[in-house]
Amino acid sequence: MPDTANRPPSILLIDDDAEVRYSLSRVLTSRGYQVAEAASGEQGVAAIRKGPPPDLVFLDVRMTGMGGIEALQHIRSAQPKQLVVLMTAFGTAQTAIEAMKYGAFDYIMKPFDPAKVLALAEKALKTHADLRAVGDYKPTINADDYREGIVGSSPVMQEVFKIIGQVTASDVTVMITGESGTGKELIARSIWKHSHRAAKPFIAVNCAAIPENLIESELFGHEKGSFTGATGQRLGKFELCDGGTIFLDEIGDMALATQTKILRVLQQGEIQRVGGTETIKVDVRILAATNKDLEAMVKAKTFREDLYYRLNVVRIKMPPLRERAEDIPQIVDFCVQNLVKQRKSRVSKVSPEAMALLTRHPWPGNVRELENAIYRSAVIAQGDAILVKDLPAELGGSAVAEPEATASPKLTLEQAFDHIHAALAAGDEPLLPRVQRELAQRTMVALAGDEAAAARKLGLTKAALQKLLG
């Protein structure tokens, strides 16, 4: 049992139904927990205010007088970290939602299955202990130092930052390539922000998202009546962006016909609106990005070679996150600190075990996937730290698995003894005979009731074994 080295964990039951208190109390004391009872919401809240606060509270929702949801709010304001499990016989969406909103650890339905109650108590107390074990936390970075929004001290990212610095002075076209979620748009915005065009617009055009028949009108605008639906004159992105920077995202998804027109802008610095005859001078810097293999597309003649050379003047290759794992803790801390700043979550720390799993994961969706995993875990987390159990299941988190399933196979012998000792220490019975009896019983079960084999395994005579088994 976690949490307490010397004393058994304490549990307070708040329920106005004496029978429920009696049966729940029996289940919990049988496992060695120290149980106290309160017969109303008011009594329960008073007991917690008076202190010392119990390790865990089971709180009924429907009680005469102060109800459970109200009691929960009083309890949490007196003891913000108090672990509370709400219980009810009448499950409604509203109470379940309110219970979790006001910070209950969990919400269970009556009648109880004793095994589930015990599993839940154990899980709650383990979470509590794990949260406390995180202790002082030193983030790897200070988010204020990263106003740029780009984090990364790995050598490959430092190279990327240097190139950004080099290309900001001129209007050179930059092609940013890399897998999805590696930060291509972030880099494009950073180039713009540091350039002399920073005061003029940055317009991102997602070439993959705009239907082929509309992209020209999007980019170059159209004259009234130039096609069905063109009810008025419209300016395109290039004209709107005059003096600024256009980011052509997913350039590999652009149709060949549009590629030709883009080439003309690049070569001559001028455009024509769809359905128009006038040639309009535009001054835009072009940045482009793709996760496609443009060289292969050029060979396959699906991407114009001349446009490729025009765009690919400077190339920034964004490395996938799995090739710069040393950046992961910083990105994680950056995300967490941003949440803190926006007051969107109680989470301000990450347990070392969770950080180790995050750092080891290959992240096929790169920074975007990591970022989403952190935000999701922060929502699920029940305290001020992200623990292993809050992580997505594919990382080895127990978002779906039962707590026993993750804890037991990895115990060292010493930890196992700690657990046994804590579990048995609560009763009055002398320890050694209890341990011997339990061990004998388990050995018998493991050896399918073969007394001779069990006696050999235990190093006892058969008679001594029989005596132990009673």
Applying CB under 6 A, the span of 15-23, 173-181, 379-387, 439-447 interacting with ligand ATP comes to: 173-181
Binding flags for ligand ATP, 269-298, as an x/- string (CB under 6 A): ----------------------x-------
Q: Smallest distance, Å, CB 379 to ligand ATP?
A: 17
Q: Smallest distance, Å, CB 315 to Mg ion?
A: 16
Q: Are 304 and 259 in contact (CB under 8 A)?
A: yes
Binds ligand ATP (CB under 6 A): choice among 43, 82, 182, 195: 182
Binds ligand ATP (CB under 6 A): choice among 2, 9, 183, 319: 183
Q: Smallest distance, Å, CB 204 to ligand ATP?
A: 9
Applying CB under 5 A, the span of 71-79, 85-93, 101-109, 177-185 interacting with Mg ion comes to: 177-185
Q: Smallest distance, Å, CB 5 to Mg ion?
A: 51
What's the count of helices (H) and strands (E) in the chain, helices before strands? Answer: 20, 16
Nearest to ligand ATP by Cβ — which residue? 183
Considering beta carbons, is residue 23 or 291 the nearer one to Mg ion?
291
Q: Smallest distance, Å, CB 247 to Mg ion?
A: 9
The DSSP result for 268-294, as a single string, is: HSEE--BT----EE---EEEEEESS-H
Within residues 228-267, the interface with ligand ATP by CB under 6 A covers none
Considering beta carbons, is residue 20 or 367 the nearer one to ligand ATP?
367
- Using CB under 6 A as the binding rule, whether residue 369 contacts ligand ATP is answered as no
Q: What distance in Å separates the CA atoms of residue 308 and residue 271, rounded to the nearest whole number?
A: 19
Applying CB under 6 A, the span of 16-24, 165-173, 175-183, 230-238 interacting with ligand ATP comes to: 175-183
Q: Smallest distance, Å, CB 316 to Mg ion?
A: 13
Retrieve residue 91's tokens: 């499950």
181 binds, among Mg ion, ligand ATP, none (CB under 5 to 8 A by kind): ligand ATP
**What's the Cα-to-Cα distance from 87 to each of 22, 62, 64, 72, 90, rounded to whole Å?**
15, 9, 15, 12, 9
Q: Smallest distance, Å, CB 179 to ligand ATP?
A: 7
Applying CB under 6 A, the span of 50-58, 182-190, 212-220, 269-277 interacting with ligand ATP comes to: 182-190
| Cβ partners under 8 Å of residue 102, min gap 6 | 69, 72, 73, 76
Applying CB under 5 A, the span of 184-192, 215-223, 232-240, 269-277 interacting with Mg ion comes to: 184-192
* The pairing of beta strand 270-271 with beta strand 280-281: antiparallel
- Using CB under 5 A as the binding rule, whether residue 185 contacts Mg ion is answered as yes
150 binds, among ligand ATP, Mg ion, none (CB under 5 to 8 A by kind): ligand ATP
- Using CB under 6 A as the binding rule, whether residue 185 contacts ligand ATP is answered as yes
The DSSP result for 341-357, as a single string, is: HTT--S--EE-HHHHHH
Considering beta carbons, is residue 8 or 183 the nearer one to ligand ATP?
183
367 binds, among Mg ion, ligand ATP, none (CB under 5 to 8 A by kind): ligand ATP
Q: What distance in Å separates the CA atoms of residue 245 and residue 161, rounded to the nearest whole number?
A: 19
Q: What distance in Å separates the CA atoms of residue 396 and residue 391, rounded to the nearest whole number?
A: 7
CA 90 to chain centre: 32
Q: Smallest distance, Å, CB 370 to ligand ATP?
A: 8
Give, for 406, the enclosing helix (H) or strand (E).
helix 403-407
| Cβ partners under 8 Å of residue 366, min gap 6 | 179, 180, 181, 182, 183, 320, 321
180 binds, among ligand ATP, Mg ion, none (CB under 5 to 8 A by kind): ligand ATP
Q: Smallest distance, Å, CB 373 to ligand ATP?
A: 12
Cis peptide before 111 (omega within 30 of 0): yes
Q: What distance in Å separates the CA atoms of residue 76 and residue 100, rounded to the nearest whole number?
A: 12
Q: Smallest distance, Å, CB 153 to ligand ATP?
A: 10
Retrieve residue 114's tokens: 């004793």
Q: What distance in Å separates the CA atoms of residue 101 and residue 88, rounded to the nearest whole number?
A: 16
The DSSP result for 132-198, as a single string, is: HHH-S---SS-GGGGTTS----SHHHHHHHHHHHHHSSS---EEEE-STTSSHHHHHHHHHHHSTTT
Binds ligand ATP (CB under 6 A): choice among 2, 54, 103, 152: 152
Using CB under 5 A, list all residues that contact Mg ion.
Answer: 185
Q: Applying CB under 6 A, which residues contact ligand ATP?
A: 149-152, 178, 180-186, 291, 331, 334, 367-368, 371
